[in-house]
Structure 1
């Protein structure tokens, strides 16, 4: 007699991320792995059972680009709110906290993430400070620092290379940073909104091969055409982009990512499950959305043990209520253990303290006069350059605005373009 299974999930339909088909099946789990996917009712002993009648069984969701600090949560708290939403694996780039507290912050985040049942992998921030010489930071990472940190346990990538202008210009520091990652054979994540033509070629030539930023539709196609993994966050998901990608002779690999979502948004709207619903509303078929949540990001992160419901794969599973397009998680398993039900974490937090972390960013003291905008112009109304923010997302564009000047001071407060 074959060894007893730990868990049988029966009554549901498995959704294949390879073919897009749905088929009735019992999924069996032993330890942290899927041990069998069998026709319904096939004899097999299991210690526990989950009734998935009316549900769809899909792989756990994989977020290939995000920042835990953007949720204003520790790694443990982040796992508690996102696991129950179906997100079982993340690649986190902690560039925000590392810009404040340096290498110690990276170690602190890794240690904290290890205390959760969520797979939290890490990218070493490539730009600390984000734009050298243009801003204040609490730390600085050299190419040698980054080369060492790329060898740390849990690190699988170079975090988003956001100083793309320096890369294109051949800046020695950024060249050394990308070279360190290429020598290590690691993943190089990109950040290059609307970079195109010769500049895009120069950027790609360094080994950076993904982008998660908002691009014009024609640039999305250009980047995909050149083999860049396109990571679509909420602000990138519009009907024009969906139509253009779906009209291609072959759909390129796509990842759905969250990038920056605050805790209140996650609790009220969702995490990757929310992004999935946005993608469906934009026109992407649900089975393509599922693949962009699971198989493709798993391949991107070189996690070949997940992303499909198949024997031998890690038992990161999500049981979805209703139609696939609703992406409504009812039960979530991570490593074969139930960790979420109905949007609430049900696992016991691991004991142990990560300790305190300190960091600071020092800026010059400012008084009220420091916020006055003084100009050498006569009294009256004058035109000034401005920045217009798109109310739907974070995209900005150059603009002009008329502002009054009195006594050499611009009345700029509470003015909008």
Structure 2
């Protein structure tokens, strides 16, 4: 929070009574407010822009640092409009290290994966870390936790009482990830969250995949202002026409930019001014290989969007959508000093980054060193479960059964799961997986020491032929998720993660062939981004030894408990019929 004395200094700096710390000279400004390009110089005092003019010489003294932008374009820092930053598996420090050099200086996040593990009190440590980083987090308190319907188990349940307290705070920018089902069922905590945010004029961030017509109308009656999930350009366009600030998602596994952008390139270009970008879930390898929001800008331009429009979608549009355009989103006096120098708007190669007034990179070279903080025991010791046996993963039925007709959760895409009924053999009262029919076993195990829940089910579409995989990074509950065709390997994978405090593992024939330890809340690591990227490749390669042909089996596994993905999910509470918001028994019938 800015103090009175600090505000007085900023005002004096704007009048050139206090010299600027940094001036950027001889560049071409990309003015996203007026959609213009023109010559300009920028003066920065502390963490604020104080002047954007043809001449800033009055703002300079002997101590002012000069950055020559000759031949370069001056662009606002970019804003990721919706990201579960923890799903990168990078700690906040390491994530900042990975994305800020690509020009992402602000992210919108609920930090909900941390909340599920350490609760709201545990966020104090998280916010302390963020305060040291050259990256702004626009934080929305999750509408509630857990997100699942029926409710699964997490370490902390966010309620309406929390919103009554937190929506009044400066650090809270609205309500995060409000799913359509919570409004549809008129969940009391969700409605209280909405009312608390509206009391303080803060936006409701929405999530309504495949919502159209009356379903969308009902959702909008909950006061939702922003939505980041559209599976088609028709759905995207309808949402925009009905007043939503729409966000195009391009994650590591859900790539919707090419489809959603058609609402702009094939329908009405004016939709673009209400469109912003997000990555939602992105991994270290993709960031280092392709970039972050800079990659989305390039993809949009390649799809036919003008460079100015694409840059607006990455900057000012998101700032306006989240009601933070008074702070970020453009290069203008009074805004946070988030400034990029790019080679030109069409190629959009980010060369120099200033974020929060700190010079992060110059001509691609790092100028500041980021070191993770010391971690407390409360955020490192979060997996609480006794060792498991192979029999814990077996699906037991009647001893005299010979066959079982089961309803599997069939993956037909990263965010689409459908019903597939398969007949499986039963041996001594245990339903067997079937490599021939592409059916594996799956378990979700509560790992917080709350109730000991262990739900079992069947998955298909994974082509797993041997072994097992496991993860404790599994939004949005981050329980222990295990899949495989060998129960002994499943137990080894689970016990390996229990022993190391969380992570991801691949096991084949009694051997752990790949392990990524995630000691921070069981979901993140302070490993360098490049090292983590290599680990991700190792895990993928190991998963291929199981026979799986999925693009990223560990990512698919981590999504298995998400109940907002149509049509089926598996949580620690049981197998979930997502459209009907209820549990189902995967055993349809038994034959003797």
Short-chain TM bin:
0.7 to 0.9
Residue 400, structure 1, aligned to residue 420, structure 2: yes
1:230 and 2:246 matched: yes
* Aligned equivalent of 2:39: 24
Is the 1:84–1:342 contact (alpha carbons within 8 Å) kept by the matching residues of 2? no
1:261 alignment counterpart: 282
Q: Residue 288 of structure 1 corresponds to which residue in structure 2?
A: 309
1:243 aligns with 2:247: no
Greater shift, 18-27 or 378-387, is seen at: 378-387
Structure 1 range deviating more: 222-231 or 368-377: 368-377
Equivalent position of 1:84 in the other structure: 101
CA distance in structure 2 between the aligned counterparts of 1:132 and 1:353, rounded to whole angstroms: 36
Task: Report the secondary structure of 1:24's partner residue.
Answer: strand
Counterpart residue number, 1:369:
391
Q: Which residue of 1 aligns with 2:499?
A: none
Judged with a 3 Å threshold, the aligned counterparts in structure 2 of structure 1 residues 351 and 244 are, in CA distance, closer, same or farther, namely closer
Q: Does 1:106 align with 2:106?
A: no
Which of 172, 175, 178 is 1:158 aligned to? 175
Deviation at 1:343, TM superposition (A): 5.0
Question: What's the secondary structure of 2:270's corresponding residue?
Answer: coil
1:71 aligns with 2:91: no
Q: In 1, distance between residues paired with 2:205 and 2:320?
A: 14
Is residue 273 of structure 1 aligned with residue 294 of structure 2? yes
Please state if 1:357 is matched with 2:372.
Answer: no
Q: Distance in 1 between matches of 2:372 and 2:151?
A: 42
Corresponding position of 1:116:
133
Q: Please say if 1:15 is aligned against 2:15.
A: no
In structure 2, what is the Cα distance between the partners aligned to 1:215 and 1:68?
A: 22
Q: Give 1:205's aligned residue.
A: 221
Query: How many angstroms does 1:354 deviate by?
Result: 6.7
Q: What does residue 387 of structure 1 align with?
A: 410
Aligned to 2:196: 180
- After superposition, residues 15-54 of structure 1 pair within 5 angstroms as 15-39=30-54, 45=60, 47-54=64-71
Structure 1: 5+ residue stretches without partners:
none
SS of structure 2 residue aligned to 1:357: helix
Relative to structure 1, the CA distance from residue 40 to residue 243 in structure 2 (aligned partners, 3 Å threshold; closer, same or farther) is farther
**Residues 196 and 315 of structure 1: CA distance in aligned 2, closer, same or farther (over 3 Å):** same
Offset, 1:256: 0.5
Mapped contact 1:100–1:361 kept (Cα < 8 A): no
Partner of 2:358: 337
Give the CA deviation at 1:154: 1.7
2:161 alignment partner in structure 1: 144
Structure 2 unaligned residues grouped into runs of 5+: 1-14, 440-459, 462-592
Question: Which stretch shows the higher mean deviation, 340-349 or 304-313?
Answer: 340-349
C-alpha separation between the residues in 1 aligned to 2:370 and 2:269? 47
1:279-301 deviation per Cα after TM superposition (whole angstroms, max 9, x unaligned): 33333322111001111111223
**Superposition RMSD on alpha carbons, in Å?**
3.1
SS in 1 for 2:297: helix
Work out whether residues 24 and 40 of structure 1, in 8 Å CA contact, stay in contact via their aligned partners in 2.
Answer: no
Separation of aligned partners in 2, 1:31 and 1:134: 46
The corresponding residue for 2:534 is none
Residue matched to 2:329: 307
In the TM superposition, what is the alpha-carbon distance from 1:255 to its structure 2 partner? 1.1
**Residues 13-60 of structure 1 deviation map (CA, whole Å, 9 limit, x = unaligned):** 211213433223333333333333334897874522212222211011
SS in 2 for 1:91: strand
Residue 287 to residue 141, structure 1, CA distance change in 2 (3 Å): same
Q: What TM-score, normalized by structure 1, do the two folds share?
A: 0.87
Alpha-carbon displacement from aligned partner over 1:123-155 (angstroms, at most 9, x marks no partner): 112231121544221221221023212234422
Higher mean C-alpha displacement, 220-229 vs 6-15: 6-15
1:395–1:170 CA distance, 2 compared to 1 (3 A): same
- Secondary structure of 2:346 counterpart: helix
Asked whether the equivalents of residues 100 and 135 of structure 2 are also in contact (C-alpha less than 8 Å), the reply is: yes
CA distance in 2, matches of 1:284, 1:88: 23
TM-fit CA distance, 1:402: 4.8
